Copies of this chain bind each other. A is one copy, B any other.
Amino acid sequence: MQFLSDNAASVHPAVWEAMRAADAPDSPYDTDALSQRLDEAFSGVFGQEVAALWVATGTAANCLALATMCPPHGGVVCHEEAHIEVDEGGAPGFYLHGAKLMLAAGEGAKLTPGAVHAVIDPIRDDVHQVQPHALSVTQASEYGRCYQPQEIAVLGALAKQRGLHFHVDGARFGNAVAFLDCAPIDAVGGADALSFGSIKNGAMSAEAIVFFDPALADVARYRRKRAGHLQSKGRFLAAQLLAMLDGDLWLANARAANAAAAEIAGVCGDRLMHPVEANELFVTLSPAEREVLRLQGFAFYDWGDDAARFVTAWNTRSEDVSALAEAISAL
């Protein structure tokens, strides 16, 4: 019973179907009919004109977005546990040509205006210190926490006021919107760009970079090619994204994953290290308790010495969810 991660889950049947339908030859790269529909499709989701580019990974989405926002000699403010800092093998350093990640603290891997100020206010405006050019937050956060619309709007406003571009890493954006139950545009806080995750949510190999500022998208197109991310059969990536948007499959899948997490959270009580607002659970569990669970067939990651992380996905089976809830209750 699989609770390791949503990042390797199966592909949704509707995505498969869309990919098969895309098999007929079309023009290469992003000149095919499906890729050409992305801007319109995402504009529909966000209720305003956006430019959307497919890429194969969240790391590429984040870094291509940020590379349009921050010069090599600048810095990007982010949480000290942000994916771009911790889990991307130094990709921001590569894509941003040595720009600096400026690390802020914050509960639940969420940033607050205070935390951002604590990082940027002491920076002297001189050439000896790297100057901040962008702010990046993760919605939902690396601990499965969501920014309420007004929370992220305040951060977006702070960024604008300080002349910083604003990026949202939405590897689990669907889970956030499903939790917040708001319009998608209200979950991005006036961002310049959003990494719109799909792979953890039922797609195979397609994420979108959604640019709310089309000028940035133009730069990103060159950089995507330069990074070797412009696939020649791009129609198969576009097909995945369009299938995810079609009929709001992305929200349905995210709701399913969230519901599974909520069911398990319901039995965890004080064991929960973070409120469960998306599809991740961080649960205090002793080594012995984890051993008990594993012997019952549950797969999950240890989280330090005294806890475990469980992640649900769009297709986590309800019987597995119930079984895990029962097993934790029984500890």
Contacts and interface: CB of A to CB of B under 8 A. Distances in A.
A98 B93 contact: yes
Interface string A209-247: 000000000010111111111111101110000000000
A259 interface: no
Interface of A: 2, 4-5, 7-11, 16, 20, 23-29, 32, 55-57, 59-61, 63-64, 71-73, 75, 86-100, 127-131, 199-200, 204-205, 219, 221-233, 235-237
Contacts of A221: 127
A94 B89 CA distance: 17
Given A221-B127, A223-B73, A236-B204, A91 B26 contact: no
A228 B91 contact: yes
A89 B225 contact: yes
A89 B232 contact: no
Nearest to A7: B232
Contact of A230 (B98, B127, B233): B127
Among A5, A10, A130, chain B packs the most CB atoms within 10 A around the CB of: A130
Given A55-B228, A73-B223, A127-B222, 14 more contacts: A2-B25, A11-B236, A16-B20, A88-B225, A88-B226, A88-B228, A89-B225, A91-B228, A93-B226, A95-B228, A96-B98, A98-B98, A127-B230, A128-B225
Given A229-B57, A232-B57, A8 B20 contact: no
Contacts of A26: 8
A229 B28 contact: no
A25 B11 contact: no
Contacts of A228: 55-57, 59-61, 63-64, 88, 91, 95, 227, 229
Among A20, A89, A128, A237, chain B packs the most CB atoms within 10 A around the CB of: A89
